[in-house]
A and B are shown apart, each in its own frame.
Chain A
Amino acid sequence: MKFRTIGRVLAGATAAGLALALTACSSGTAASSATAESFDSSKQYNITVWSWEPTIAADSDVLTAFKKAYPNINVTVTNVGSSADQYTALSNALQAGSGLPDVAQIEYYALPQYAIGSNLADLSSYGASDLSDKYTTGTWNSVNQTTSEGVSGIYGLPVDSGPMALFYNKTVFDKAGIADAPKTWDEFYEDAKKIHALGDKYYITSDSGDAGFMTSMIWSLDPSAIKVDGTNVTVDFSSEKVSKFVSIWQKLIDENLISTTIGGWSDDWFKGLSDGTLASLVTGAWMPANLMQNSPKASGNFRVALAPTIDGTAANSENGGSSLAVLQKSENKAAAYKFVEFVSAGDGEALRIQAGNFPALKSTLANSEFLSSTGAYASEDLLAYFGGQEYNTVLAQAAADVNAGWTYLPFQVAANSKFADTVGQAFSGKTSLTDGLSSWADTIVEYGNGQGYTVTKG
């Protein structure tokens, strides 16, 4: 008997503790401060930064320069792991309400998820609103967010960008008798046939169901596919242009003209890009350094062209890229902003671009030395890798072509994690891309409504 009562008391205590912990979680909405505290250059600050970006690692040139410029700010950079690992850590810390950094690197597609819950500080009043004309459309669009309470603001500053471009192996294209890089997806399909004719192992590209690629394609084809207005969200993956692209991609899968067995970033993938059996890829402008590092044998073979479009008219989107955001709970927001600004738009920017980042600043994208990879932006090995082509000129054009008006879902990370179960099934032939996209939209509706949004399928 006695044991039972004590057991019950303890169980009650656990339940009470649990309820307390849970209410503590839900009260995470901090009041948005209208006036920002100002930066005091005589005060000593300590800020922590979570980032996986090598160009701002603890021993990078950017950090050295920052310490010189702001001796009173002591920065500790922690690499928590890959981006996914960092989001897990960040979400856990947000839920616990402690152990948070002052600054976190967050990819554009994940930014809405954190901004919407008022977890990030609005940087407008710290000086970010003065920077609005400096960045490319795509990146500036991405950092402008609205919280679930309707507070619009700038919730991060762009670090890099990734306008989509076609990286193709010219040697293989020549061998297949393709004179120019495809400008439309119809041409891409025809070229795919020519390349597969070189041998069973030859494919124009690979796709085994990549949510990032598909969302970028939708952005490029129909930037209004996702509409977010406060807590009202509309998704429509069946517009005419998207359907047209999807039917071409379906043909490529059905006729075995693209490899659906090689996963992106796998060992096989880089080997395929090295030996030419994967003749091209459409991806973000941050790819050159990755290609050179992981597929060095293909040096001199690769060229860059604008990504194909559905009708040959200029349209593009971003793939990947990340921002630096200041956490709402940070007690050193002013100092944290100084760091973010220095890295994003200040002296740190040039150092990062020299180390391999693709710029988000318009001024850098128009810089002639950057475009020709000479002078301050000299990169002999990359120029050689692309056979002497001024690849940055093409990539800068790709950045200028990015469609305005796109927004990611406020729960894109979660939506992407459900991609393989829906659209992904089309790549192993279990469903069609059209049906897969439709059931992905259904999943998004179901998940979004469960999260308190009003989501409708257009």
Chain B
Amino acid sequence: MTTATQPIGTRRTSNTSQRKHRRNWRGWLFVGPFAAVFLLVFIAPLAYALGLSLFANRMIGGTVFVGFGNYLTLFADPLFWQGLWRVILVLIVQVPLMLAIAMFVALALDSGRLHGSNFFRLSIFMPYLIPTVVAALMWGFLYGTNYGLVGQLNGFFGTSLNLFSADWILVSISNVITWTYIGYNMLIFYSSLKTISPSLYEAAVIDGASEWQIIRAIKIPHLRGSIAIATIFSIIGTFQLFNEPSVMQKMAPSVITNSFTPNIYAYNLSFNSGQQGYAAALAIVMGLVTVIIAYVVQLRGMRTEEGTN
């Protein structure tokens, strides 16, 4: 902006300010509508949350400005760190596994050696169409140790597996998420594979490449961009984990507590204990954490992509 104003300013000193004004306002006519909507829809809620996070809502004394007090309390709150650690664990274990399976399925569908690939594509995608709340309920019934499928298997094999116990709960929840989102990620990979020009395959076949070599040399390098995108979506989704544990809370109340994931914690702080300011601080910190991690992954993803090209 500074470089643009410089040459005009040096020539006509008397009219500068007036002319500049006019030019700027004309520009705003074009940008204005967008800027207004942008401010209202994107910036205002963020500013509101940011403002909220600096206040504490007290039952006695009303709303008090506390500065960064909420943030300081949050950084010393073990429940927040435990919740964050839980979603990070899910992120480290579940996301790579889910993406690997999704990629495997996409490659299998793309290989063209599968009979009824349309049917498989649709049925693997189907779980994504089921609302996550319904999916969590359904799996919750299957996991039931008393009357669910797990209970029946326990009775049959004489085991006492409890998928709602503290040791298993993350695995149980990860399983639901994996089941739901494999189809979605598979579709991202599959559509990316479909854009590969057939001439590359023909060339590879002429050179005598095996199917495995085609996958390694053509398909996987081509998928790098989609992998980066799918990973970023999964990271955001994992940090926002809410529906599945929230639905299963009734089935495992002492294991899935009100601070199980940062999102559940924020919800309960805001709606059950009236700590909206504290919840806003938590939301903003979680937003920043997500942005940083997603950005780092994106940087890495982009670099490898450029490297191969």
Give complex CA distance A264, B146 in Å: 14
A91 engages B44 (CB within 8 Å): no
Q: CA A210 – CA B253 in complex, angstroms?
A: 8
Q: Which of chain A's residues has its CB closest to B2's CB?
A: A1
> For the complex, what is the distance from the CA of A15 to the CA of B51, rounded to whole Å?
7
Given A410-B59, A411-B273, the answer on whether A263 and B252 have CB atoms closer than 8 Å is yes
Give A271's nearest chain B residue, CB to CB.
Answer: B147
Identify the closest chain B residue to A446 (Cβ).
Answer: B73
The yes or no answer to A313 lying at the interface (CB within 8 A) is no
The contact of B251 among A3, A266, A425, A452, by CB within 8 Å, is A266
Contacts of A113 in B (CB 8 A): 59
> Is B255 within 8 A of A428, CB to CB?
yes
Q: Is the C-beta of A374 less than 8 angstroms from some C-beta in chain B? A: no
Contact of B63 among A1, A22, A264, A424 (CB under 8 A): A22
Out of A91, A116, A272, A427, which one reaches B254, CB within 8 Å? A427
A451 touching B59, Cβ below 8 Å: yes
Residue contact A425 to B58, C-beta cutoff 8 Å: no
In the complex, chain A residues 257-280 whose Cβ is within 8 Å of any chain B Cβ: 260-268, 271-272, 277
Query: What per-residue 1/0 map shows which CB atoms of B147-159 lie under 8 Å from chain A?
Result: 1100000000000
Interface: B72 (CB within 8 A): no
Which stretch in A30-38, A70-78, A415-423 binds the other chain? A415-423
B144 within 8 A of A: yes
Q: B253's contact among A116, A208, A272, by CB below 8 Å, is which?
A: A208
Question: What is the chain A residue whose CB lies nearest that of B278?
Answer: A450
B272–A267 contact, CB under 8 A?
A: no
Structural contact, A263 and B258, CB atoms closer than 8 A: no
The closest CB in chain B to the CB of A88 belongs to B271
Q: For chain B, which range describes its interface: under 10, 10 to 19, 20 to 34, or 35 or more residues? A: 35 or more
Instruction: State the Cβ distance, A10 to closest chain B Cβ, in Å.
Output: 6
A275 to chain B, nearest CB (A): 9
Q: Mark B45-61, 1 if CB is under 8 A from A, else 0.
A: 00110011001111111
Convert B229-271 into 0s and 1s, putting 1 for each residue whose CB lies closer than 8 angstroms to a CB of A. Answer: 0000000000000000000001111110111000000001001
Chain A's interface: helix, strand, loop or mixed, by majority? Answer: helix
User: Is residue A231 within 8 Å, beta carbon to beta carbon, of the partner chain?
Assistant: yes
Q: Return the CB mask of B135-148 against A: 1 if under 8 Å, else 0.
A: 00000010011111
Distance, CA A266 to CA B254, complexed state (A) = 14
Of B24, B59, B79, which is within 8 A of A117 by CB? B59
Beta-carbon contact of A411 and B166 below 8 Å: no
Q: B258 touches which one: A28, A265, A418 (CB < 8 A)? A: A418
Chain B residues numbered 174-213 whose CB sits less than 8 Å from any CB in chain A: none
Residues of A within 8 A of B255 (CB): 428
Q: Are B24 and A208 within 8 A (Cβ)?
A: no
- Which of A3, A201, A263, A452 is close to B59, meaning CB atoms less than 8 Å apart? A452
Query: What interface size band does chain A fall in?
Result: 35 or more
In the assembled complex, which residues on chain A have CB atoms less than 8 Å from the CB atom of B148? 268
A355 partner residues in chain B, CB cutoff 8 A? none
In this assembly, does B29 line the interface, its C-beta being within 8 Å of a C-beta of chain A?
Answer: no
Q: How far is the CA of A200 from the CA of B141 in the complex (A)?
A: 21
The chain A residue sitting closest to B47, CB to CB, is A14
| Residues A18 and B164 in contact in the complex (CB < 8 Å), given A266-B251, A417-B268, A421-B259 | no
Q: What's the least CB distance linking B34 to chain A, in Å?
A: 13
- Complex contacts, A264 vs chain B, CB 8 Å: 253
Enumerate A229-269 residues with CB–CB distance to B below 8 Å. Answer: 231, 260-268
B166 contacts which of A208, A262, A418, A430 (Cβ < 8 Å)? A430
- Residue numbers in A under 8 Å from B2 (CB-CB): 1
A282 CB to nearest B CB, Å: 17
Cβ of B1 within 8 Å of any chain A Cβ, yes or no, is yes
Which of B57, B254, B271, B275 is A420 in contact with, Cβ under 8 Å?
B254
The 8 Å CB contact of A260, one of B24, B79, B254, is B254
> Could you say which of A410, A418, A425 has the most chain B C-beta atoms within 10 Å of its C-beta?
A418
Cβ contact within 8 Å between B273 and A418: yes
* Docked complex Cα distance between A366 and B299 (Å): 76
- Structural contact, A265 and B250, CB atoms closer than 8 A: yes
Q: Which of B1-55 contact A (CB under 8 A)?
A: 1-2, 5, 24, 39, 43-44, 47-48, 51-52, 55
Tell whether A43 is near chain B: CB-to-CB under 8 Å: no
Q: Does A26 contact B (CB under 8 A)?
A: yes
The distance from the CB of B75 to the nearest CB of chain A, in whole angstroms, is 15
**B141 CB contacts on chain A under 8 angstroms:** 267
Which residue of A25, A116, A268, A427 contacts B62 across the interface (Cβ within 8 Å)?
A25
Known: A116-B59, A417-B268, A453-B59. A268 touches B253 (CB 8 A): no
CA distance A210 to B249 in the complex (A): 12
- In the A-B complex, the 4 residue pairs with the closest CB atoms: A452-B60, A26-B62, A414-B273, A417-B272
| Given A413-B272, A421-B257, 12 additional A-B pairs, CB 8 A | A1-B5, A14-B44, A84-B272, A263-B252, A264-B253, A268-B144, A268-B146, A268-B147, A268-B251, A411-B274, A414-B273, A421-B259
Question: Can you offer 16 A-B residue contacts whose CB atoms are under 8 A?
Answer: A2-B1, A10-B39, A22-B51, A84-B272, A91-B271, A116-B59, A261-B162, A268-B147, A413-B273, A417-B268, A418-B258, A427-B254, A428-B255, A430-B166, A450-B58, A450-B275
Contact surface of A with B, Cβ cutoff 8 Å: 1-3, 10-11, 14-15, 18-19, 22-23, 25-28, 84, 88, 91, 113, 116-117, 148, 201, 208-210, 231, 260-268, 271-272, 277, 410-411, 413-414, 416-418, 420-421, 424-428, 430, 447, 450-453
